[in-house]
């Protein structure tokens, strides 16, 4: 049986989120700045066209910003996380086989009945997502995940396709693979890219047609899988993938269905602990975290919920992350549901050296923080969880984030609902 996989990828996701409730941004260059307004972490098409590089510190591009009236927003992961959840829910409603791959990407299996009209099917999905959420997505279709990534690049970059591109039926598929740089292939890191180039394997087509034995010797089974995937043989089932480095995800399916909140919190605390370790291993800190839980997609009344927590200062500090994860889980929990999977996704990653914190960066701050944590744990241990919360213990003033240009959290906060003037 033929497999058809689509990758739906939101266009300039954070910037699109900013534009949903601000139609005046639609024709303007927009960038989103990292926590504490340090550097550009997202750019829309017009901002990219101005030559603003990813990660550019704001003070370095101040002239460009002024000259071209670039709209700058402080990162608002609560808004982005919520809109992501909505986009994923719409995508998931079109097919039960969905893998939420990152905050703005999702693989979905094209159901068999739609195989002959996959482009039309994807167009309907796309129209539904934009109508229901306001977020434009590009959809690439192909017979494997790796090829669907290639297809989504084309869908996004080449306007004539209207946001949907089916590589499996395209008559220019060979040309596309022949011009697609090997370094942009999903799963090819810098080291492999270097080696492949030294072997004169420069494009997706070169790699597809490469000698399997040579690839296996150097890149092992991972390389062979990529090779097969490029040949249109699907080797990476949904959900079996490594996550991109911009995000760290720890998620598992449970051995048995979980219905109780305590067990769910335990699970998510363990994942959060692991996620924090991974962050420290890679010398990174996260600006925000998404907690999600879902029931089995193959049972009736499928339920998937997620919530985003934005840290006051990017962190890899286990107690902060675990505590936030447990609270977040409590906020999305619904009794009576049989949960099958939960996870923790750390987003907005940056090197720990760039933490733009204020007080905590200093040793004195760290000490205070450790002390605060131990006191909090002690009191909570004695009088019950949540007796003292971080925000309630006076931390809020100290930790307050500099987000001068943060948009309202339109979709998750009553006080910040969009206002319509008639």
Chain positions contacting Mg ion, by CB under 5 A: 9-10, 13, 104
Report the nearest approach of Mg ion to the CB of residue 138 (Å). 8
Distance (Å, rounded) from C-alpha 234 to C-alpha 224?
12
Cβ-based nearer residue to Mg ion, 104 or 247: 104
Instruction: Provide the minimum distance between the beta carbon of 142 and Mg ion in the complex, in angstroms, as a whole number.
Output: 17
CB of 88 to Mg ion, least distance (A): 13
CA distance 244 to 230: 19
Q: CB-wise, 243 or 327, nearer to Mg ion?
A: 243
Neighbours of 218 (CB within 10 A): 12
Q: Which is nearer to Mg ion, 62 or 157 (CB)?
A: 157
Task: Give least dist CB 51 to Mg ion, A.
Answer: 20
| Residue number, 13 or 161, with CB nearest to Mg ion | 13
**CB 13 to Mg ion: min, Å:** 5
- Tell me whether residue 9 or residue 287 sits nearer to Mg ion (CB atom): 9
Which C-beta is closer to Mg ion: that of 103 or that of 279?
Answer: 103
Identify whether the C-beta of residue 19 lies closer than 8 Å to the C-beta of residue 30.
Answer: yes
Residue carrying the six token digits 């049989």: 338
Minimum CB separation of residue 9 from Mg ion in Å reads 4
Q: Find the shortest distance in angstroms from Cβ 58 to Mg ion.
A: 22
CA distances from 350 to 83, 179, 186, 327, 346 (A): 22, 31, 21, 24, 11
Q: In what order do the strands lie in the sheet with 339-351?
A: 248-258, 339-351, 284-295, 304-315
DSSP-derived letter for residue 57 is B
| Torsion angles phi and psi, residue 382, rounded to 5 | -85, -40
| Nearer CB in complex with Mg ion: 10/52 | 10
Instruction: Report helix, strand or coil for 43.
Output: strand
Q: Residues 291, 349: contact at Cβ < 8 Å?
A: no
Q: Are 34 and 286 in contact (CB under 8 A)?
A: no
């Amino acid at each position: 049986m033929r497999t058809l996989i689509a990758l739906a990828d939101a266009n300039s996701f954070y910037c699109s989120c900013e534009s949903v409730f601000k139609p005046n941004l639609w024709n303007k260059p927009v960038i989103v700045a990292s926590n504490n307004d340090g550097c550009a972490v997202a750019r829309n098409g017009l901002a990219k066209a101005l030559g603003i590089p990813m990660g550019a510190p704001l003070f370095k591009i101040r002239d460009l910003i002024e000259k071209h009236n670039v709209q700058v927003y402080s990162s608002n992961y609560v808004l982005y996380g919520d809109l992501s959840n909505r986009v994923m829910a719409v995508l998931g409603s079109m097919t039960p086989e969905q893998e939420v791959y990152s905050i703005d990407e999702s693989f979905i299996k094209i159901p068999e009945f739609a195989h002959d009209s996959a482009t039309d099917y994807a167009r309907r999905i796309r129209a539904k997502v934009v109508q229901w959420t306001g977020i434009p997505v590009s959809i690439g279709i192909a017979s494997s995940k790796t090829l669907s990534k290639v297809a989504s690049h084309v869908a996004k970059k080449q306007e004539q396709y209207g946001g949907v591109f089916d590589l499996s039926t395209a008559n220019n598929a060979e040309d596309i693979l022949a011009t697609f740089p090997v370094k942009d292939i999903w799963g090819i890191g810098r080291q492999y890219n270097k080696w492949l180039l030294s072997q004169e394997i420069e494009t997706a087509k070169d790699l597809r047609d490469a000698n399997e034995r040579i690839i296996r010797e150097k890149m092992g089974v991972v390389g062979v899988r990529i090779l097969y995937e490029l040949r249109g043989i699907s080797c990476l089932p949904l959900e079996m993938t490594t996550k991109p480095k911009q995000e760290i995800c720890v998620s598992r399916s449970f051995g048995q269905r979980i219905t109780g909140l305590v067990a769910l919190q335990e699970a998510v605390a363990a994942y959060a602990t692991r996620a924090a370790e991974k962050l420290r291993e890679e010398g990174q800190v996260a600006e925000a975290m998404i907690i999600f839980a879902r029931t089995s997609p193959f049972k009736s009344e499928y339920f998937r919920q997620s919530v985003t927590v934005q840290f006051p200062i990017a962190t890899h500090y286990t107690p902060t992350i675990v505590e936030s994860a447990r609270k977040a889980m409590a906020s999305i929990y619904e009794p009576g549901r049989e949960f099958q999977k939960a996870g923790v996704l750390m987003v907005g990653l940056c090197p720990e050296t760039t933490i733009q914190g204020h007080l905590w960066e200093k040793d004195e701050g760290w000490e205070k923080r450790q002390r605060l944590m131990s006191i909090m744990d002690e009191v909570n241990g004695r009088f019950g969880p949540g007796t003292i919360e971080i925000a309630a213990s006076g931390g809020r003033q100290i930790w307050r984030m500099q987000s001068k240009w943060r948009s309202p959290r339109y979709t998750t906060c009553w006080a910040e609902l969009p206002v319509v003037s008639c």
